[in-house]
């Protein structure tokens, strides 16, 4: 199991040297010292400034060599070559970690990228860890450690709590911190990674997944630079039941030669990242507000895998609003049991006791009924999440205390449930509800999203480790193969293919058609013509020998006319299957996460609607079935409008086999298109396939020759 303990000296050091220390507490080199002095950093602070004997009341040192001891971490706030020299000097002194404010590296130009590579090499040579360059720094409020130059602390210090912030952007990371502090959320640890010449966002996430003082992780990412550490961190967070809420921004196409693949041409690295986040149960937030809503709810540490929502309301309109929001998310709101509905009707004859349970304004005259209704939701309804909508009444001077007393009594009796109040109240009243154990939201739809997310985490935590998928033996050819060879390779890996034969002349094609049975499909066969439809290289519905003879000649003529330089290896004669629903399977090689599988319904669904799902390889047949079922067009496979049901088990087994093949094939496999896959009530078959391979690298005497 991957360990992230090497970040300890950066985040929990016993001493720090500030290179470029300033006596002015508002300058970049002065803020960290001022912050650490004010917040009582328990370790030693060594200002390094050759022009001053004292810095902010602390003894200063002219250079690293003059330090009384090797610091755990060196904070570098000097520019250019001086920064690189400081890293060298700190390495020689035995420093364990570097935090580098200095900019002008890979974020600027190629020359800067070269300097960054030099910097990373120096750090590796001395066995140090480097945060940055071009980073804002970090803070660990629990030990008063503030190697950071953000001005956000001028308006307040971190509150006690157990939310950790990890951000590639320093400015946005501290923006999230400030917004959290203003909402009363405790975020005592924030780490920003900058250019990530060494320490990556994934490693910071991994450290937080291991750290006892962090229970909820809030992250901001622009791009994932190291897939291995990122995946290991997310896996560790899930196993340790620590929810990760991530704002992943930026959308871009995979680009490059991968666009030759049909799969890659409709994919983008953002959708691949999205699939990876779902795989590990990470909640992808669309805004800072949403991220903090989810982190706030997660502080209760209640993650119901079988989440259901019960609502107690004094407003029928709010009930409709919440019901719509829950349905859109897929958060179940089952009705109250019939006996419970009858009992509540006996208490208030004109109430609506189904769910949402509208207790009406009558409870303003009989406040004790609020507790009766709330207890019925918890005990008889059995809901895991319970939302009380009391709007202004919850914060009023007359009704508020009664509502709070009744709801608090019931919440104490059912502490394993997620209890949430939607009220409009003064800050001190909101804090009182929170002290009673309630989540509090003004907007009930935001409450629904937060409650749903807790069940999302619960399902991720409840899922066991992924099933081990056996990998096939795969031998790839020297170069990208033609269709028949591609399908032979896939069939050997467990992907069924349509019966077919390679034919070198027209009479052989006729014999093959009669053996397979009419109607048949004819396709030009060439390793140089991978997308045959573009030249009219596919003929359908050939029903007799004369049509096959004429079709054979027509295909050869089209190939010679459209691609005169292409190598023609004959014609492929295939059995034409009727009544099938078409799907597309694909593999693309993501530069960060490796082989990723795609499945989508064929035709307009993939070309226009892009109804596709992605998943990192490999995965078992159960996961493959979940992917297929998640397609918007899945009803077409499941008997919609009288259509025959497709053999879902066969499809899932084939897709899983393709995912295992992609891993076993190794990095030479650039992409796979299996399109169409013909799904029938019994079985499924690949009707066409393209394998795109990278050239085999030369070795030994081949390279010398």
**Would the pLDDT of 480 be above 70?**
yes
Is 413 in the same domain as 458? yes
**Would the pLDDT of 93 be above 60?**
yes
* 652 domain residue, yes or no: yes
Domain boundary among 575, 605, 624: 575
CATH of the domain at 246: 3.40.50.261
Distance of alpha carbon 427 from alpha carbon 703, whole angstroms: 73
Q: pLDDT averaged over the chain?
A: 93
Predicted pLDDT at 322? 98
Lowest mean pLDDT among 182-196, 457-471, 523-537, 678-692: 523-537
In 3D space, the residue among 609, 589, 607, 587 whose CA is nearest the CA of residue 674 turns out to be 587
Predicted pLDDT at 255? 35
* 22 domain residue, yes or no: no
User: What average pLDDT does this structure show over 449-464?
Assistant: 96
Q: Alpha-carbon torsion 531, 532, 533, 536, what sign?
A: positive
User: What average pLDDT does this structure show over 635-652?
Assistant: 92
Q: Alpha-carbon torsion 77, 78, 80, 86, what sign?
A: negative
**Would the pLDDT of 310 be above 90?**
yes
A 10 A CB-CB count for 33 gives 26
Is 441 in the same domain as 513? no
**Would the pLDDT of 266 be above 70?**
no
Predicted pLDDT at 702? 44
**Would the pLDDT of 609 be above 80?**
no
Domain boundary among 526, 546, 575: 575
Q: Alpha-carbon torsion 338, 344, 348, 352, what sign?
A: negative
* 267 domain residue, yes or no: yes
Is 520 in the same domain as 385? no
Is 279 in the same domain as 196? yes
The one-character DSSP state at 618 is P
**Would the pLDDT of 607 be above 80?**
no
* 543 domain residue, yes or no: yes
User: What average pLDDT does this structure show over 147-166?
Assistant: 97
Predicted pLDDT at 364? 85
Predicted pLDDT at 446? 98
Residue 166 backbone dihedrals phi, psi, to 5 degrees: -125, 125
**Would the pLDDT of 453 be above 80?**
yes
pTM: 0.91
* 49 domain residue, yes or no: no
244: CB partners within 8 A, 6+ apart:
205, 217, 219, 234, 237, 280, 281, 282, 283
Predicted pLDDT at 435? 97
* DSSP β-bridge partners for residue 585: 599, 674
The one-character DSSP state at 369 is H
A 10 A CB-CB count for 142 gives 13
**Would the pLDDT of 181 be above 60?**
yes
* 481 domain residue, yes or no: no
Share of the chain above pLDDT 90, in %: 87
What tokens appear for 72 in the block? 């755990």
The CA-atom distances, in angstroms, between 352 and each of 54, 243, 382 are 73, 36, 18
CB 617, CB 595: distance < 8 Å: yes
A 10 A CB-CB count for 541 gives 12
For strands 439-441 and 418-423, give the pairing: parallel
CATH of the domain at 539: 3.30.1490.20
Is 424 in the same domain as 532? no
Predicted pLDDT at 335? 98
In 3D space, the residue among 357, 361, 347 whose CA is nearest the CA of residue 312 turns out to be 357
Predicted pLDDT at 258? 33
**Would the pLDDT of 259 be above 70?**
no
A 10 A CB-CB count for 92 gives 12
User: What average pLDDT does this structure show over 172-188?
Assistant: 97
Predicted pLDDT at 251? 58
**Would the pLDDT of 700 be above 60?**
no
Is 241 in the same domain as 337? no
Is 317 in the same domain as 188? no
Q: Alpha-carbon torsion 423, 428, 431, 432, what sign?
A: negative
Is 547 in the same domain as 660? no
* DSSP β-bridge partners for residue 133: none
User: What average pLDDT does this structure show over 558-570?
Assistant: 92
The CA-atom distances, in angstroms, between 696 and each of 476, 491, 690, 702 are 9, 22, 18, 11
Instruction: For residue 261, name the pLDDT band (cuts at 50, 70, 90).
Output: very low
Instruction: For residue 260, name the pLDDT band (cuts at 50, 70, 90).
Output: very low
Instruction: For residue 256, name the pLDDT band (cuts at 50, 70, 90).
Output: very low
Domain count, the chain: 4
Predicted pLDDT at 466? 83
Is 511 in the same domain as 611? no
Is 239 in the same domain as 198? yes
**Would the pLDDT of 243 be above 70?**
yes
**Would the pLDDT of 184 be above 80?**
yes
User: What average pLDDT does this structure show over 507-523?
Assistant: 96
Domain boundary among 299, 327, 350: 299
Distance of alpha carbon 384 from alpha carbon 396, whole angstroms: 28
List the domain range (segments joined by +) for residue 369.
Answer: 309-462
CATH of the domain at 664: 3.30.470.20
User: What average pLDDT does this structure show over 285-314?
Assistant: 97
**Would the pLDDT of 287 be above 60?**
yes
* DSSP β-bridge partners for residue 45: 16
Is 295 in the same domain as 440? no
Distance of alpha carbon 584 from alpha carbon 262, whole angstroms: 10
**Would the pLDDT of 541 be above 60?**
yes
**Would the pLDDT of 604 be above 80?**
no
Is 593 in the same domain as 667? yes
Structure confidence by residue, pLDDT tens digits, 377-407: 999 999 999 999 999 999 999 999 999 999 9
* 121 domain residue, yes or no: no
Predicted pLDDT at 199? 97
81: CB partners within 8 A, 6+ apart:
none
Predicted pLDDT at 605? 73
Distance of alpha carbon 547 from alpha carbon 537, whole angstroms: 15
**Would the pLDDT of 254 be above 50?**
no
Predicted pLDDT at 642? 80
Distance of alpha carbon 600 from alpha carbon 649, whole angstroms: 16
* 264 domain residue, yes or no: yes
**Would the pLDDT of 585 be above 90?**
yes
Q: In terms of DSSP H, where are the helices of 223-379? A: 227-239, 262-265, 269-279, 288-298, 316-329, 338-347, 368-379
């Amino acid at each position: 199991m991957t360990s992230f303990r090497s970040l300890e000296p950066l985040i929990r050091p016993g001493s720090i040297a500030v290179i470029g220390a300033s006596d002015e507490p508002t300058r970049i080199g002065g803020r960290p010292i001022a912050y650490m002095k004010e917040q009582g950093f328990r370790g030693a602070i060594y200002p390094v400034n050759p022009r001053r004997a004292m810095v902010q009341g602390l003894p200063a040192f002219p250079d690293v060599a003059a330090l009384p001891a090797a610091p755990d971490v060196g904070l570098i706030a000097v520019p250019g070559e001086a920064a690189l020299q400081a890293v060298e000097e700190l390495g020689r002194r035995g420093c364990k970690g570097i935090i580098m404010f200095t900019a002008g590296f890979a974020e600027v130009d190629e020359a800067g990228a070269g300097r960054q590579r030099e910097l990373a090499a120096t750090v590796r040579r001395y066995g140090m860890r480097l945060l940055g360059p071009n980073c804002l720094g970090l803070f660990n409020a629990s030990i008063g450690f503030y190697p950071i130059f953000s001005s956000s602390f001028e308006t307040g210090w971190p509150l006690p709590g157990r939310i950790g912030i990890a951000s590639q952007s320093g400015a946005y990371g501290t923006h999230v911190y400030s917004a959290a502090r203003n909402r009363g959320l405790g975020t005592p640890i924030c780490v920003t990674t900058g250019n990530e010449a060494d320490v990556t966002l994934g490693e910071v996430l991994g450290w937080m997944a291991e750290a006892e003082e962090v229970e909820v992780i809030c992250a901001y990412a622009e791009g994932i630079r190291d897939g291995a550490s990122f995946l290991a961190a997310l896996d560790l967070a899930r196993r340790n039941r620590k929810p990760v809420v991530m704002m992943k921004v930026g959308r871009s196409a995979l680009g490059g030669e991968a666009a030759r693949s049909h799969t890659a041409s409709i994919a983008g690295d953002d959708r691949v990242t999205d699939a990876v986040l779902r795989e590990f149960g990470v909640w992808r937030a669309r805004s800072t507000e949403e991220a903090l809503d989810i982190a706030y709810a997660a502080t209760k540490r209640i993650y119901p895998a079988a989440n259901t929502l019960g609502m107690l309301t004094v407003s029928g309109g709010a009930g409709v609003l919440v019901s719509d929001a829950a349905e859109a998310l897929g958060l179940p709101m089952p009705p109250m049991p019939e006996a419970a509905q009858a009992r509540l009707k006996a208490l208030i004859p004109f109430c609506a006791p189904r769910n949402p349970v509208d207790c009406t304004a009558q409870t303003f005259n009989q406040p004790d009924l609020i507790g009766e209704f709330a207890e019925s939701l918890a005990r008889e309804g059995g809901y895991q999440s319970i939302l009380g909508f009391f709007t202004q009444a919850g914060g009023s001077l007359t009704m508020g205390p009664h509502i709070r007393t009744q709801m608090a009594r019931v919440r104490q009796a059912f502490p394993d449930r997620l209890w949430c109040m939607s009220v409009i109240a003064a800050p001190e009243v909101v804090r009182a509800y929170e002290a009673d154990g309630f989540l509090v939201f003004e907007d009930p739809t935001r409450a629904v999203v937060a409650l749903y997310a807790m069940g999302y985490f619960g399902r991720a935590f409840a899922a066991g480790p992924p099933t081990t998928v056996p990998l096939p033996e795969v031998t790839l050819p020297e170069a990208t193969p033609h269709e028949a060879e591609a399908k032979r390779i896939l069939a050997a890996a467990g992907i069924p293919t349509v019966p077919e034969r390679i034919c070198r002349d027209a009479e052989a094609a006729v014999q093959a058609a009669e053996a397979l049975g009419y109607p048949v499909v004819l396709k030009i066969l060439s390793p140089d013509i991978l997308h045959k439809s573009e030249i009219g290289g596919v003929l359908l519905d050939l029903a007799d020998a004369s049509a096959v003879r004429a079709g054979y000649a027509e295909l050869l003529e089209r190939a010679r006319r459209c691609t005169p330089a292409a190598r023609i290896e004959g014609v492929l004669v295939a059995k034409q299957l009727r009544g099938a629903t078409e799907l597309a399977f694909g593999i693309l090689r993501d530069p960060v996460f490796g082989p990723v599988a795609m499945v989508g319904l064929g035709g307009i669904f993939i070309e226009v609607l892009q109804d596709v799902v992605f998943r990192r390889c490999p995965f078992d047949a159960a996961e493959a079935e979940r992917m297929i079922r998640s397609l918007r067009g899945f009803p077409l496979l499941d008997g919609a409008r009288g259509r025959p049901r497709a053999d879902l088990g066969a499809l899932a087994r084939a897709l899983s086999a393709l995912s295992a093949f992609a891993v076993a094939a190794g990095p030479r496999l650039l992409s796979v298109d299996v399109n169409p896959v013909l799904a029938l009530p019994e079985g499924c078959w690949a009707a066409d396939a393209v394998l795109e391979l990278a050239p085999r690298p030369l070795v030994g005497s081949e390279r010398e020759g």
